[in-house]
Amino acid sequence: MTDPAPLTKSQTERLVTALRTGQAVDEAAAALHLDLSAVWATARTDTRLTIALAGRDPDAADERARIARADYLRLLALGVSPSRAELILGAGHAGGWRGDSRAFAHACDAVAAVAAPYGYTGMTRLTTERVSRFLQALSRPNTTVLAAAAAAGVTPAAIYQRRRRDVEFAQAMDEARAAQEVSPV
């Protein structure tokens, strides 16, 4: 048996609007001539629809924050390292989220542990090769520590911890950043 085709963008928006007004999903789907199995298939990848199905407003500010955290956990579950997950999401908040919520920190750790066989193990070390890749990436114009850490496959937290305890590494970071400012003529 094949999965039904997901809803179109227009169908999904009409359904979300109906759900936001308090209609039950089965009644809203019937009124819009939508198959419920197509609704479920669409909800697998459409976060706004999923939130509306949960009875909440997908456009509310607190839902956007919840979506960002859920996306971060989803990326960890897929075996993506924390630094790459932050880079993919275009946000540097995950480290802050961990500090703001012990429950979220525990969730991150649990998801990373489950994902270990598929990629990220939670124990990425700053090997000589990774340090070299990090410093090389950091020396490129307009490269942030977050982007350079992701290129090396480590977290920014690991970089800053190393910087605090290793004077030579801190100096190498400063030199790499200075190299960003030198443009070849």
Q: Which residue carries 């990774």 as its tokens? A: 130
CB within 8 Å of 31: residues ≥ 6 apart: 18, 23
Q: Which two tokens stand for residue 114?
A: 């489950």
Res 104: pLDDT: 87
Across residues 119-133, what is the average pLDDT?
76
CB within 8 Å of 181: residues ≥ 6 apart: none
Q: Picking from 61-65, 119-123, 129-133, which range would have the lowest pLDDT averaged per residue? A: 119-123
The answer, yes or no, to whether residue 157 has pLDDT greater than 90, is no
Res 123: pLDDT: 55
The answer, yes or no, to whether residue 117 has pLDDT greater than 60, is yes
Q: Which residue carries 């598929």 as its tokens? A: 118
Q: How far is CA 161 from CA 95, 100, 139, 166, in A?
A: 13, 19, 19, 9
CB within 8 Å of 79: residues ≥ 6 apart: 115, 118, 119, 120
pTM of structure: 0.60
CB within 8 Å of 27: residues ≥ 6 apart: none
Res 151: pLDDT: 84
DSSP for residue 119: S
The Cα–Cα gap between 130 and 108 comes to 23
Res 65: pLDDT: 82
The answer, yes or no, to whether residue 41 has pLDDT greater than 90, is yes
The Cα–Cα gap between 149 and 131 comes to 9
Res 50: pLDDT: 94
Q: Is 167 exposed, middle or buried (0-12, 13-18, 19+ CB in 10 A)?
A: exposed
Res 1: pLDDT: 61
3-state SS assignment for residue 161: helix
Q: How many degrees, rounded to 5, is the angle at CA 105 between CA 159 and CA 115?
A: 80
